[in-house]
Amino acid sequence: MSDLRVTVWGEYRHEHTNKAVADVYPKGMHEAIADGLREGGIASVRTAWLDQPEHGLTDAILAETDVLTWWGHQAHNDVDDKIVERVAQRVLEGMGLIVLHSGHHSKVFKKLMGTSGNLQWREADEREIFWTVASGHPITDGIDEHFELPAEEMYGEPFDIPQPDTLVFISWFQGGNVFRSGACWQRGRGKIFYFRPGHETYPTYYDTNVRRVILNAVKWAAPVAGEKINVRNAKVPLAPITKG
């Protein structure tokens, strides 16, 4: 695990246009997320963002990325379809993908899920309590049966996602809503984790539990090293294995 290579992708636009966001995340949200991973012992963490050439996600960079984290919000439509295709293809080939907060509406998440990613929401500085419902799952390592954030944006059900392979966390919100806030899927060889918290105006990505969950998720989503199966070009005529 020591040689796990993570790329933290951020939209990195709110930080330039909204002083409240810049105050909370002076180096950008992606740097706060990346710092959490570095602090957690991941040696190789790089960042990339929307306004870089190819959104910072060149073939070369993706080829060197074991797990990609994704935060986007207001500019999902500015993400080039070719890059979306490239990222999704890498996930099918085994790259892990951690989708954060408003990334539920990112092109790449919707493409890999096959659903709209729609949900309900409310901005009202609400208390959020996360309940662990998959005790024993690697993503819960070091996490208590519940933890909380003092104020966050509310995301509520119905959340239009395929039923998760594993549901890890459910959130409670002060205003009467619940949300499947931590959920795992596999697509091709790649592991995907969606993790709800992280509205841009709150210091969520400095929170100890949130950082620990993202760290755990990155480790869980690491590609299997010895994997020998090719899902990219599999549709080829096959010789009989046996005379049957």
| Kind of pairing between the strands at 96-100 and 178-187 | unpaired
Q: Toward its own copies, which CB reaches closer, 49 or 173?
A: 173
Least distance in Å: CB of 18 to its own copies?
18
Residues 185-204 touching its own copies, rule: CB under 8 A, are 185-191
171 scored as a contact of its own copies (CB under 8 A): yes
18, 52, 58, 166: which one contacts its own copies (CB under 8 A)?
Answer: 166
2 scored as a contact of its own copies (CB under 8 A): no
Measured between its terminal Cα atoms, the distance across the chain in Å is 43
Cα 176 to Cα 129: distance, rounded to the nearest angstrom: 12
Least distance in Å: CB of 229 to its own copies?
4
13, 180, 199, 211: which one contacts its own copies (CB under 8 A)?
Answer: 180
15, 126, 152, 200: which one contacts its own copies (CB under 8 A)?
Answer: 126
CA nearest neighbour of 10 among 54, 59, 69, 63: 69
Least distance in Å: CB of 83 to its own copies?
17
Chain centre distance of CA 33: 11
Least distance in Å: CB of 26 to its own copies?
29
44, 52, 58, 174: which one contacts its own copies (CB under 8 A)?
Answer: 174
237 scored as a contact of its own copies (CB under 8 A): yes
Measured from the Cβ of residue 129, the count of other Cβ atoms closer than 10 Å reads: 13
70 scored as a contact of its own copies (CB under 8 A): no
How many Cα atoms within 13 Å fall on the side-chain side of residue 95? Answer: 25
182 scored as a contact of its own copies (CB under 8 A): no
Burial grade of 122 (CB within 10 A; 0-12, 13-18, 19 or more): middle
Chain centre distance of CA 8: 9
145 scored as a contact of its own copies (CB under 8 A): yes
How many residues sit in the footprint of its own copies (CB under 8 A)? 86
Least distance in Å: CB of 177 to its own copies?
7
How many Cα atoms within 13 Å fall on the side-chain side of residue 139? Answer: 26
